[in-house]
Amino acid sequence: MPASTTKKVVLRRFEKEALAGYVNPLTFLQLTGIELLSPEGNVSVVPYSDVKMVAFVKDFEEVNEPERRVFQNRPKIEGLWLRLEYRDGEVTEGIIPNNLLQIEKHGFTVVPPDPNGNTQRVLIPRTALRSVQVLGVVGSPLKRLKRKTVLKEQIGLFED
């Protein structure tokens, strides 16, 4: 069994302050919004139209803005490398799995550019985005097969 059924998150909103709390990974994406349990124990549903991003964090102490928003070099993590533009004009990058069946209908769960930061994953609702661009495919499963070269010194036993 998993050690914890809830995950620490910081829910960033467009025109309001950020909310810290907990979500159940299996049930937090509701039809009308994101279900958030506050540290005091109050449950609320934040409408998708208000949510800019849901950052899955290690600690609540470091609830300031994410450290790095774009990759400095080509990422090493396998997946689709995306550039996401929010409807307020802000731009961020991230990696999603190279399996489109894993994309949630309400948004994109991306791995942020800073692997050592407080933010482990970020859920960005579709309603928060103006555009999504694929910048590249990292670690493509379609690896080029090298053709075996036949050595000229090799004799042909069964050749005519």
Q: What is the pLDDT of residues 105-115, one digit of tens each?
A: 899 999 999 87
CB-based contact 102:108 (threshold 8 Å): no
Locate 69 and state its tokens.
Answer: 């928003």
CB-based contact 129:59 (threshold 8 Å): no
Confidence of residue 39 (pLDDT cuts 50, 70, 90): very high
CB-based contact 88:14 (threshold 8 Å): yes
Locate 94 and state its tokens.
Answer: 């991230």
Locate 8 and state its tokens.
Answer: 């620490």
Q: Is the pLDDT of residue 65 over 70?
A: no
Q: Is the pLDDT of residue 157 over 80?
A: no
Edge-to-edge order in the sheet of strand 51-57: 43-47, 33-37, 19-23, 7-13, 51-57, 119-125, 107-110
Confidence of residue 72 (pLDDT cuts 50, 70, 90): confident
- The pLDDT of 25-39, averaged and rounded, is 93
DSSP 113: S
Residue 81 to residues 67, 75, 135, Cα–Cα distance (Å): 18, 8, 5
pLDDT value of residue 147: 59
pLDDT value of residue 101: 86
pLDDT value of residue 1: 38
Confidence of residue 74 (pLDDT cuts 50, 70, 90): confident
pLDDT value of residue 104: 86
pLDDT tens track for 75-96: 888 999 999 999 999 999 999 9
pLDDT value of residue 158: 73
Higher pLDDT, 154 or 134: 134
Comparing C-alpha atoms, which of 54, 23, 52 is closest to residue 127? 52
pLDDT value of residue 83: 96
Q: Across-strand partners of 11? A: 19, 54
Instruction: Give the pairing type, strands 119-125 and 51-57.
Output: antiparallel
Question: Which contiguous run of DSSP H or E holds residue 123?
Answer: strand 119-125
Confidence of residue 5 (pLDDT cuts 50, 70, 90): confident
Question: Under DSSP, is residue 127 helix (H, G, I), strand (E, B) or coil?
Answer: helix
Query: Model pTM?
Result: 0.80
**Contacts for 119 with CB less than 8 Å, ≥ 6 apart:** 55, 56, 57, 66, 67, 112
